[in-house]
Amino acid sequence: MTTVGIGLIGAGFMGTTHSKAYQSIASTFGPDLTPRLEIIADVNPDAAKAAAGIFGFKRWTTNWQDVVACPDVDLVDITTPNSSHCPIAIAAARAGKDVHCEKPLALDAAEAREATNIVEKAGVISSVGFNYAQNPIQAYVKSVIDSGELGRVVNFRGSYDQDYYAEDETLHTWRFLKSASASGALGDLASHTISLAQYLTGDINRVCGMTRIIVPERPDPNDPATMLPVENDDIVQFMYSGQNGVIGTIFSNRLACGRKMSLTYEIQMTRGCILFTQERQNEVQIYRHDDRPLERGFKTVLITPGQGEYAHFFNGAGIEIGYADLKTIEMYHAIRHSAEQTKNPIDFRFGCRVNMVIDAVLESAANNTWVEVI
């Protein structure tokens, strides 16, 4: 049995989700590869102590540097606000630790490039938390695209809308601050759509975008009578040109009334089309133009063994997996690549490319022009 020592930084929602995923890896993928929960850190001592007790971490701390310095930690897992991602990742890499980081990788592309270069120079394994790209059904979609059976990709239309900030009275958080989060809907939501476009159809090379702040102020959580400014985008939309002649559009709205997990895409190809929505994450719609004319139409393909890691969960088709299962798959691959010392396809260089697109969209929106992704 191979074990990987885990040092988790951040005991909030995402840290809790990662901890649950670690607990599920052995029962899902077998005991040959097992995470050892060595240490968890959070600035809130009550949160760190509680998480250590609930999930079985051997120790807890309020200082993330303790995690990086811990000799029993092989993989540092970062689930903190965006502004601290790269400083922690760089320190971990310099200490010889493999690194898994939640998305987006960095506040901007320059920071992402620096972290990527340091991680690669240190020779450690890296990964970024674009969990939706690791949905087993996306492995199927990629295989269909790569096979050429539907011709070549000509257009990608993607969106990711949620309504978690639809109420004007929602309290201000770090996600509304450029200093902590940089972009808003673009980095928080659209980054996932960008990752899917990048994973399935290739790099985005040139963009033209718009952003808007719809609710300019939010109540201070410490004094709701005081209003604090919203500094980043509620809505973003951009056109792009990409690898192999693909053109596309991506849209995101964090105030989208009625939308809960509306991460969707349509991939138009010369001999077919593929439709997907995360709200029905266990199926995809496929149109094949080479079907008999009387039978042409979108057909539902249900999740099934043979697609990605699905067979580790169920041995029959159409049995739904959920968000927690996607995180289990994500963390399994993070520790597997760490144990094997092999490259994770969704690594810091992949995440850096997403940050490059985000920066280009922000520059385009500010200057009202097309911008190259460089």
Residue 1 pLDDT exceeds 90: no
Identify the residue whose tokens are 């940089």: 182
Q: What is the C-alpha to C-alpha distance for residues 106 and 224, in angstroms, rounded to an integer?
A: 30
Long-range contacts of 172-178 (CB under 8 A, 24+ apart): 172/218, 172/219, 172/220, 172/221, 172/228, 172/230, 173/218, 173/221, 174/81, 175/232, 176/218, 176/228, 176/229, 176/230, 176/231, 176/232, 177/231, 177/232, 178/231, 178/232
Residue 81 pLDDT exceeds 90: yes
pTM of this prediction exceeds 0.75:
yes
Query: What ranges in the chain are assigned the alpha helix state H?
Result: 13-29, 45-55, 64-69, 85-94, 109-122, 136-147, 178-181, 185, 191-201, 323-340, 348-367
Report the percentage of the chain scoring pLDDT > 90: 100
Q: What is the C-alpha to C-alpha distance for residues 182 and 138, in angstroms, rounded to an integer?
A: 28
The pLDDT tens digits for 325-357 are: 999 999 999 999 999 999 999 999 999 999 999
Q: How sure is the predictor about 372, in pLDDT bands with cuts at 50, 70 and 90? A: very high
Q: How sure is the predictor about 363, in pLDDT bands with cuts at 50, 70 and 90? A: very high
pLDDT value of position 293: 94
Q: Which amino acid is at 122?
A: A
pLDDT value of position 10: 98
The pLDDT tens digits for 90-128 are: 999 999 999 999 999 999 999 999 999 999 999 999 999
CB contact at 8 A, 61 and 47: no
Q: What is the C-alpha to C-alpha distance for residues 256 and 39, in angstroms, rounded to an integer?
A: 38
Per-chain mean pLDDT for the chain: 97
Centroid of chain to Cα 363: 22
The pLDDT tens digits for 132-185 are: 999 999 999 999 999 999 999 999 999 999 999 999 999 999 999 999 999 999
